[in-house]
């Protein structure tokens, strides 16, 4: 019995190869970029995994397997290449059943649009996590190619559990593709797809998978305060409603940063084009099915808007979510869906390509601008931190701990990009900040290997009363006994 509904034929090979090629051009700056992102700073010099404590044990096992042992190494850009390739493979398998032979190139462009998600750029900026994040999404997409059966259901549940064990934030992809898949089945099937049967089946899969994940992974592996706080759902009371609304608004604002940074004619054009595509889809469904349920038509008619909200609705339900672009990897599902609608409904196939080009081009602008800004920031990091390391080594003093006060300067190119494209600010972090642990880890790459400590009132009092042991126009170094304080701004000493 055949378990999947696609074939490895010439069409599959063309779509997958073309989409991977376009995606490689898109991530080329990240292949060339040599800047570590957050956790990369520690993993690159210590070689730890520790994803299990975040409820991601499969990420541990996968990275250890790829590295042929422990500790793990920096294998970039192989991790980014495999991440993007796995997504292209899964999406090719899915689109194979819905795109005709004469629209192979258009299908490849549609597959690329998932990768062109601007929020996915933060995932790609991680040299270690990028593979597990991308593969997590790919598994959820691929399960929609599996035929409905008892064995197929078991395989699907297994893939969902694996996806959650790699990166939980991608689960929105499952919700989005449930709606996409239902819409496409209604459009292509000669029989009315059973609404209740279809959604009951999809709900059963995810409920079973979550139950298995909860009792075999979450309870056994998640044990640190950070992971527990970020994986807990909101309480079912008034307080929970308020938390949900606050989370919803913050995540919506993050997405609107991207939308508002695009030229407004683009936005209007794509809203009109998507509306046109939905109207065409509904007309075709009505012409095929004389007694098509009205509630199904209503669901399909609002599907683009519903999918927009599904990109972050699951994150909003957490009591303390991470408000970072990387958790919005599901937004790629929206870009993929509207692009696929255009390819399916626009009769002139090259018109569909022309429609995709502006939004794809805008994504390329994000990718190359962000990567080059990161490169500029890294050069400034190197200039300042090399100077800091030199001053420390020549101070003649011994230290045990390190604290950072103030914020390191932003490179002019980074400032230019983040002002124009505000959503990129989180993708271009400045690591040396007050009480930021990763600033201490960044300094370890410059042989400043002290235990990181936080700034306290006593430290501020000390800086007000004692001169620095080294000073430049950018920073000052203070020696508070065995504690080194790296200050990028002067403390407020008026009340000291």
Q: Give 464-481 pLDDT, tens digit per residue.
A: 989 999 999 999 999 988
pLDDT, one tens digit per residue, over 96-142 is: 988 888 889 999 999 999 999 999 999 999 999 999 999 999 999 99
Supply the pLDDT for residue 322: 83
Phi and psi at 448, nearest 5°, equal -100, 90
Angle between helices 264-288 and 303-316 (to 10 degrees): 110
Note whether 38 and 130 are within 8 A (CB): no
Q: Are residues 256 and 384 in the same domain?
A: no
Supply the pLDDT for residue 341: 92
Supply the pLDDT for residue 224: 67
Q: Is 328 part of a structural domain of the chain?
A: yes
Q: Are residues 323 and 379 in the same domain?
A: no
Measured CA to CA, the distance from residue 408 to residue 419 in angstroms comes to 18
Supply the pLDDT for residue 239: 86
Supply the mean pLDDT for the chain: 90
Q: Are residues 326 and 407 in the same domain?
A: no
Supply the pLDDT for residue 57: 93
Q: What are the E-state strand segments in 259-301?
A: none
Instruction: Sort residue 101 into left (φ over 0), alpha (ψ -120 to 50) or beta.
Output: alpha
pLDDT above 90: percentage of residues in the chain: 65
Q: Are residues 256 and 195 in the same domain?
A: yes
Residue 226: pLDDT over 70: no
pLDDT, one tens digit per residue, over 157-175 is: 999 999 999 999 999 999 9
Phi and psi at 76, nearest 5°, equal -65, 150
Query: Model pTM?
Result: 0.92
Q: Is 455 part of a structural domain of the chain?
A: yes
Residue 378: pLDDT over 80: yes
Supply the pLDDT for residue 139: 97
Mean pLDDT of 410-433: 91
Q: Are residues 337 and 378 in the same domain?
A: no
Q: Which domain holds residue 280?
A: 10-346
pLDDT, one tens digit per residue, over 204-224 is: 999 999 999 989 888 887 776
Supply the pLDDT for residue 4: 81
Angle between helices 78-95 and 10-32 (to 10 degrees): 150
Q: Are residues 394 and 294 in the same domain?
A: no
> In degrees, to the nearest 5, what angle opens at C-alpha 178 toward C-alphas 176 and 183?
100
Is the bond leading into 456 cis (omega within 30 degrees of zero)?
A: no
The DSSP 8-state label assigned to residue 409 in this structure reads: P
3-class secondary-structure state, position 372: helix
Phi and psi at 298, nearest 5°, equal -65, -40
Q: Are residues 28 and 160 in the same domain?
A: yes
Output the CA torsion sign for 334, 338, 343, 348: negative
Q: Is 480 part of a structural domain of the chain?
A: yes
Supply the pLDDT for residue 323: 86
Residue 496: pLDDT over 60: no
CA of 403: how far to CAs of 45, 432, 493, in Å? 20, 10, 18
Q: Are residues 107 and 157 in the same domain?
A: yes
Phi and psi at 70, nearest 5°, equal -130, 140
Query: Based on the structure, what is the number of domains in the chain?
Result: 2
Supply the pLDDT for residue 223: 72
Read off the tokens for 473. Answer: 């126009």
Is the bond leading into 71 cis (omega within 30 degrees of zero)?
A: yes
| β pairing state of 476-480 and 483-487 | antiparallel
Cβ neighbours of residue 12 closer than 8 Å, sequence gap 6 or more = 6, 92, 93, 96
Residue 232: pLDDT over 90: no
Q: Is 340 part of a structural domain of the chain?
A: yes
Residue 181: pLDDT over 90: yes
Measured CA to CA, the distance from residue 275 to residue 278 in angstroms comes to 5
Mean pLDDT of 332-360: 90
Residue 227: pLDDT over 70: no
Read off the tokens for 462. Answer: 């000390």
User: Which of 330, 346, 362 is the C-terminal boundary of a domain?
Assistant: 346
pLDDT, one tens digit per residue, over 310-323 is: 999 989 988 888 88
Q: Are residues 188 and 249 in the same domain?
A: yes
Q: Are residues 256 and 124 in the same domain?
A: yes
Q: Are residues 323 and 466 in the same domain?
A: no
Burial class (CB in 10 A: 0-12, 13-18, 19+), 199: middle
Q: Reading across the β-sheet that carries 483-487, which strands appear in turn? A: 451-452, 401-405, 483-487, 476-480, 470-471
Angle between helices 129-142 and 171-188 (to 10 degrees): 30
3-class secondary-structure state, position 476: strand
Residue 235: pLDDT over 80: no
pLDDT, one tens digit per residue, over 269-285 is: 899 999 999 999 998 88
Q: Are residues 331 and 443 in the same domain?
A: no
Query: Can you tell me which residue has the tokens 């404590």?
Result: 53
Residue 424: pLDDT over 60: yes
Supply the pLDDT for residue 229: 61
Report the b/e string of 433-461 with b at 16+ CB within 10 A.
beebbbbbbbbbbbebebebbebeeebbe
């Amino acid at each position: 019995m055949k378990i999947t509904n696609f074939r490895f034929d010439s069409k599959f090979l063309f779509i997958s190869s073309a989409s991977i090629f376009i995606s490689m051009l898109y991530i080329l700056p990240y292949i060339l970029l040599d800047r570590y992102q957050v956790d990369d700073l520690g993993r690159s010099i210590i070689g730890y995994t520790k994803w299990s404590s975040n409820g991601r044990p499969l990420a541990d096992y996968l990275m250890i397997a790829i590295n042929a042992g422990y500790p793990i190494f920096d294998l970039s850009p192989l991790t980014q290449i495999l991440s993007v390739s796995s997504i292209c493979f899964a999406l090719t398998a899915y689109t194979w059943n819905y795109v005709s032979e004469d629209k192979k190139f258009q299908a490849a462009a549609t597959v690329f649009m998932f990768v062109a998600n601007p929020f996915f750029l933060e995932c790609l900026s991680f040299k270690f996590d990028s593979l597990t994040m991308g593969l997590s999404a790919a598994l959820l997409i691929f399960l929609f190619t599996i035929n409905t059966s008892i064995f197929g259901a078991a395989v699907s549940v297994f893939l969902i559990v694996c996806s959650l064990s790699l990166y939980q934030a991608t689960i929105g992809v499952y919700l989005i593709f449930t709606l996409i898949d239902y819409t496409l089945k209604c459009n292509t099937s000669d029989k009315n797809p059973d609404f209740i049967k279809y959604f009951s089946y999809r709900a059963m899969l995810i409920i079973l998978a979550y139950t298995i994940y909860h009792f075999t992974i979450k309870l056994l592996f998640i044990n640190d305060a950070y992971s527990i706080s970020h994986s807990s759902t909101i309480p079912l009371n008034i307080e929970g409603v308020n938390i949900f609304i606050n989370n919803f608004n913050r995540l919506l604002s993050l997405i609107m940063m991207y939308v508002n940074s695009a030229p407004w004619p683009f936005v209007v054009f794509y809203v009109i084009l998507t509306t046109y595509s939905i109207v065409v889809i509904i007309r075709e469904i009505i012409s095929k099915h004389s007694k098509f349920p009205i509630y199904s038509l209503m669901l399909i008619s609002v599907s683009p808007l519903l999918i927009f909200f599904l990109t972050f609705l699951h994150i909003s339900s957490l009591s303390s979510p991470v408000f970072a672009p990387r958790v919005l990897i599901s937004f790629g599902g929206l870009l993929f869906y509207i692009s696929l609608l255009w390819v399916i409904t626009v009769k002139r196939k090259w018109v569909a390509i022309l429609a995709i080009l502006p939004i794809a081009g805008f994504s390329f602008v994000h990718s190359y601008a962000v990567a080059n800004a990161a490169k500029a920031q890294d050069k400034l990091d190197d200039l300042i931190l090399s100077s800091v390391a030199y001053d420390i080594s020549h101070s003649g003093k011994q230290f045990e701990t390190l604290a950072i006060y103030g914020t390191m300067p932003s490179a002019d190119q980074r400032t230019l990009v983040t002002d124009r494209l505000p959503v990129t600010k989180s993708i271009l972090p400045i690591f040396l900040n007050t009480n930021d642990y990763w600033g201490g880890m960044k300094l370890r790459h410059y042989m400043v290997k002290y235990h990181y400590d936080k700034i306290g009132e006593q430290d501020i009092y000390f800086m007000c009363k004692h001169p620095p042991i080294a000073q430049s126009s950018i920073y000052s170094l203070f020696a508070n006994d065995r504690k080194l304080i790296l200050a990028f701004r002067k403390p407020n000493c008026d009340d000291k």
